[in-house]
Amino acid sequence: MNSTRVHIRRRLLLTTLLPLLVALLVSWLIGDRLIAARVAGQAQEEARSDLGTARELYQGELNRLAEGVQLISRSPELSRSLQGPAASELARLLALLSGSRSFSFLTVVDRYGQVRYRAANPERSGDTLRHLKPVAEALAGRPSQGSMLFSNLQAGQENPLLPDQMLVPLLPSQHAVPTSKTAEQRGLFLIAATPILGADGEIHGALLAGQLLNNNEQLADRITRVIAPQQQDGSSRETATIFLDDVRIATTVTNENGQRATGTRLSAEVVKQVLQQGERWIAPAYVLHERYFAAYEPLRDPDGTVIGALYVGLPERPYLHLRNNLNLTFAALLLVLTLLAIGLTTSLGKRLGEREEEVSTLNHTLEQKVQQRTIELEEKSRQLLETEKELARTERLAELGMLSAGVAHEINNPLAIIRGNAELLQMSIPAGAEDQEEVSEILTQAGRINRITSSLLTLARQDKRQVSRFSLAGLLDEILDQIGHQIPLATYHIERSYQQTAIQLEADREQLRQVFTNLILNGLQAMGGEGQLTLSAEADPEATCSITVADTGPGIDPEQQERLFSPFFTTKQNGTGLGLAISWGIVRNHAGTIEVFSAPGCGARFTVTLPSSST
């Protein structure tokens, strides 16, 4: 039975839990993929949008530089000063015109491209800058702006302080292209050049200005502030970087110590696409030691050569944390549902096992119950047959009673005439005459006929009762005291076992007298002159009492027992066969029963059951 329960539990677990787990796992995987794709797509799209914003800010910085240079170049005094040889006048004008503007260098060249004055390096002049494309464009009458790389020598000519400001020590960088360099000595500049026009519209020279981006965090900070406002702790979720070649020269990316990662280098995968192929990168990439949703755009000089890159990005870590939290939530939900399903299937399995055990027990005992029901049905059938027999007997007695009353009435009238005439005849015959014996026999048989008709009338009138309350023990004592006048009792032993019970009856006393007198006489006569007659009575809680008359006679055959209460059936030579039939009818009318228990050689026991008034 235990193996059956385990089998049921396992089967329920497989049929209930397995589809649920499969559905949850599939939903989990699909949900994880959709969420990851959705989040990654949104983050990458945000990086793409922020790169556009960063490019606009970078271009805006160039435009401000170009506007400042153009404003200075429009001064008529500057054009007139170029026509004279005095450098002091140019110095005075540039200092006056530039005002609070901050340039990394500011240089004036004449119409031939020769340097007339360097504001950051006044001692150096006379060399030519015509080879610089922005200068050439300006001398051709077209303002020019862009990004340019300067060597430390070139930058030192414009401003002796720039080589030190440009120096960026290289730091170890994971995922970067290996290099033997230890520092970046070149400088990335925002360059603006504009022509200097005279009053006649002639080009008298050009004004060149540059702003160094190396170690200049202002532009990177400005980009970061615009694309991602600071959080409460002062940190920013997104970062921005300006690259010179593959080196971070200005950045808001921080390293493990929380310091700016200036001097770290670009990952190899991005170098190949952005710096070597000159294409944009809009995809996750390694930024230092972790992955970012990154967007890179190459920076080109006026000749179109890629000289660096502009970057914005946001770390994957918060999104991975969110994804992990979702996965943990799904896992917890899956675990809870699994435990609930296991508990549910275990409970159902236990219940089904119990039900199966009950079914097995029922199947095991079904045959016994069927046999028991069969026996009960047989008993009911027997009782039904007994009831039918009893009903038939009652109907026959009722019909016989009606017939007996008419017959007795018709017989009694001629019988009275016969008996009266016989008595007159007896009186008229002398005492010793021969006919005296025949007349006496006529009177004897007339008396017998009278007793028979009296019994028939009793049979007809047994439903007419005169109910009174009396003691059962008193009635039985009275019958036994009077029975001696009908049969000698000297050779019999009569046991009175009813005297210890005080049973009261509400019934027709004379009819019950006839019943018990008949049973006592039958028992005494059946024993043939000697034996023991036992009378007993007992009451039960159902307000009934049982009176038993038992003898030690020869007993009654089973065939005779079936007909014992039928009218006119008798085993006596001179019996009428009406005594037990009348007794059965009287007991029946008193809502009682009369039964016989006997076997050949074991005596007979008649039990009368009647309603009792009290005990």
Share of the chain above pLDDT 70, in %: 78
Decide which of 3.30.450.20, 3.30.1280.10, 3.30.70.141, 3.90.1570.10 is the CATH code for 45-315: 3.30.450.20
Q: Is the pLDDT of residue 232 over 50?
A: no
Q: What is the pLDDT of residue 396?
A: 60
Give 3-state DSSP helix, strand, coil % of the chain, rounded to 5. Answer: 50, 20, 25
Q: Is the pLDDT of residue 2 over 60?
A: no
Q: What is the pLDDT of residue 455?
A: 58
434-440 contact pairs (CB < 8 A, 24+): none
Helices (H), 107-202: 133-139, 152-158, 162-166
Q: Is the pLDDT of residue 314 over 50?
A: yes
E strands present in 498-530: 504-508
Q: Is the pLDDT of residue 361 over 80?
A: no
Q: What is the pLDDT of residue 569?
A: 67
In this structure, of 281-295, 316-330, 522-536, the range with the lowest mean pLDDT score is 316-330
In this structure, of 178-192, 487-501, 561-575, the range with the lowest mean pLDDT score is 561-575
Q: Is the pLDDT of residue 418 over 60?
A: yes
Chain segment 508-522, per-residue pLDDT in tens: 888 888 899 989 988
Residues 6 or more apart whose CB falls under 8 angstroms from that of 443 comprise 419, 422, 423, 426
Q: What is the pLDDT of residue 195?
A: 95
Share of the chain above pLDDT 90, in %: 32
608: amino acid identity, one letter: V
Q: What is the pLDDT of residue 234?
A: 46
E strands present in 119-230: 144-150, 168-169, 183-184, 187-197, 203-212
Chain segment 253-262, per-residue pLDDT in tens: 998 888 999 9
Q: Is the pLDDT of residue 154 over 90?
A: yes
Q: Name the CATH superfamily for 463-615.
A: Histidine kinase-like ATPase, C-terminal domain (3.30.565.10)
In this structure, of 50-59, 198-207, 313-322, 533-542, the range with the lowest mean pLDDT score is 313-322
Q: What is the pLDDT of residue 233?
A: 46
Q: Is the pLDDT of residue 247 over 90?
A: yes
From the centroid of its chain, how far is CA 487?
A: 89
Average pLDDT over residues 250-277: 92
Which of 589 and 15 is assigned the larger pLDDT?
Answer: 589
- Residue 344: CB atoms within 10 Å: 15
Look over the chain and give the mean of its residue pLDDT values, rounded to a whole number.
Answer: 81
Average pLDDT over residues 274-298: 91
Average pLDDT over residues 55-74: 92
In this structure, of 199-208, 450-459, 483-492, the range with the lowest mean pLDDT score is 450-459
Q: What is the DSSP string of 556-601?
A: --HHHHHTTTSTT--SSSS--S-HHHHHHHHHHHTT-EEEEEE-TT
Reported as a pLDDT band with limits 50, 70 and 90, residue 305 is very high
Q: What is the pLDDT of residue 66?
A: 93
Q: What is the pLDDT of residue 315?
A: 85
In this structure, of 228-242, 334-348, 368-382, the range with the lowest mean pLDDT score is 228-242
Length of the chain in residues, anyone?
615
Which of 405 and 100 is assigned the larger pLDDT?
Answer: 100
From the centroid of its chain, how far is CA 148?
A: 71
Reported as a pLDDT band with limits 50, 70 and 90, residue 487 is confident
Q: What is the pLDDT of residue 615?
A: 44
Q: What is the pLDDT of residue 296?
A: 96
Angle at the Cα of 596 from the Cα atoms of 591 and 598, rounded to 5 degrees? 170
| Inter-axis angle of helices 317-428 and 18-73, nearest 10 | 150
Q: What is the pLDDT of residue 332?
A: 78
Which of 336 and 468 is assigned the larger pLDDT?
Answer: 468
Q: Identify the helix (H) or strand (E) that includes residue 314.
A: strand 306-315
CA distances (Å), origin 16, targets 13, 162, 339, 340: 5, 76, 12, 11
Which of 452 and 331 is assigned the larger pLDDT?
Answer: 331
Residues 6 or more apart whose CB falls under 8 angstroms from that of 116 comprise 82, 87, 90, 108, 109, 110, 125, 205
Q: Is the pLDDT of residue 462 over 60?
A: no
Q: Is the pLDDT of residue 162 over 80?
A: yes
CA gap 451, 598 in Å, rounded: 29
CA distances (Å), origin 225, targets 45, 229, 446, 543: 18, 5, 148, 107
Reported as a pLDDT band with limits 50, 70 and 90, residue 235 is very low
Whole-angstrom distance between the N-terminal and C-terminal Cα of the chain?
56
Q: What is the DSSP string of 347-408?
A: HHHHHHHHHHHHHHHHHHHHHHHHHHHHHHHHHHHHHHHHHHHHHHHHHHHHHHHHHHHHHH
CA gap 373, 362 in Å, rounded: 15
Both tokens assigned to 349 = 């399995």
Q: What is the pLDDT of residue 200?
A: 83
Which of 326 and 514 is assigned the larger pLDDT?
Answer: 514
Average pLDDT over residues 140-152: 95
Q: Is the pLDDT of residue 14 over 70?
A: no
Both tokens assigned to 232 = 């409460």
CB 249 within 8 A of CB 241: no
